[in-house]
Amino acid sequence: MSRIGKKPVQIPSGVTITVGADNVVTVKGPKGELKETVDRDIKVEVKDGELNIVRPTDQIRHRAMHGLYRSLVSNMVKGVTEGYKKQLELVGVGYKASNQGNLLDLALGYSHNIIFEIPKELKVTTSQEKGQNPMINFESIDKQLIGQVCAKIRSLRKPEPYKGKGVKFAGEVLRRKAGKAAGK
């Protein structure tokens, strides 16, 4: 039995969960509404302020989806109550970030600036204090979307292992390498 799958998801006050046709789970809370389509074989039961995910058999396919859908619904509940935040840090000389609404303008050492359109579900802010690296802050209720957008922006200039220049998550520890001088 999946240890994650059999744990019930606690439904906080102010959050309503409905299971509609075609196993569509809708979670509504103070910050917004999220929907997820659950596989037709997996049953979703809501009772007594708890949500349980039940699988029909012990097939490998059902076992794989049991914990997955429990985690997805749990992330949706946390998203509509607290929300998710991520920070990206731009490390490098001349690296800059600015935004106008949901258009992010990045100067990452290329010959041209990169204009990145952020989905409307995300709220983005940029900050630049003197003596500090530029920061990009994201807020959203959708954990998957915020992670995907941050990973895409990070892939535009990944941190390199020698000087650590590039786009990295705030607090991310990079594995550094010694340069040529260390080889002698």
The tens digit of pLDDT for each residue in 86-127 reads 999 999 999 999 999 999 999 999 999 999 999 999 999 999
What is the pTM (predicted TM-score) of this model?
0.87
pLDDT tens digits along 122-155? 999 999 989 999 999 999 999 999 999 999 999 9
Superfamily of domain 9-81: Ribosomal protein L6 (3.90.930.12)
Q: Which amino acid is at 147?
A: G
Measured distance CA(121)–CA(145) in Å, rounded? 8
Residue 5 near residue 53, CB atoms below 8 Å: yes
pLDDT tens digits along 37-83? 999 999 999 988 899 999 999 999 998 899 999 999 999 999 999 99
In this model, does residue 1 exceed pLDDT 60? Answer: no
* pLDDT at position 184: 59
* pLDDT at position 183: 57
Measured distance CA(118)–CA(125) in Å, rounded? 11
* pLDDT at position 120: 93
CA-closest candidate to residue 152, choices 174, 124, 133: 124
Measured distance CA(157)–CA(146) in Å, rounded? 18
In this model, does residue 5 exceed pLDDT 90? Answer: no
Q: Dihedral (C-alpha) 143, 149, 152, 156: value to the nearest 10 degrees?
A: -130
Q: Where are the domains of the chain?
A: 9-81, 84-169
The CATH T-level fold of domain 84-169 is Outer Surface Protein A; domain 3 (3.90.930)
Q: Which backbone phi and psi does 35 adopt, to 5 degrees?
A: -130, 145
Total number of residues shown for the chain: 184
User: 147 is written with which tokens?
Assistant: 């992670």
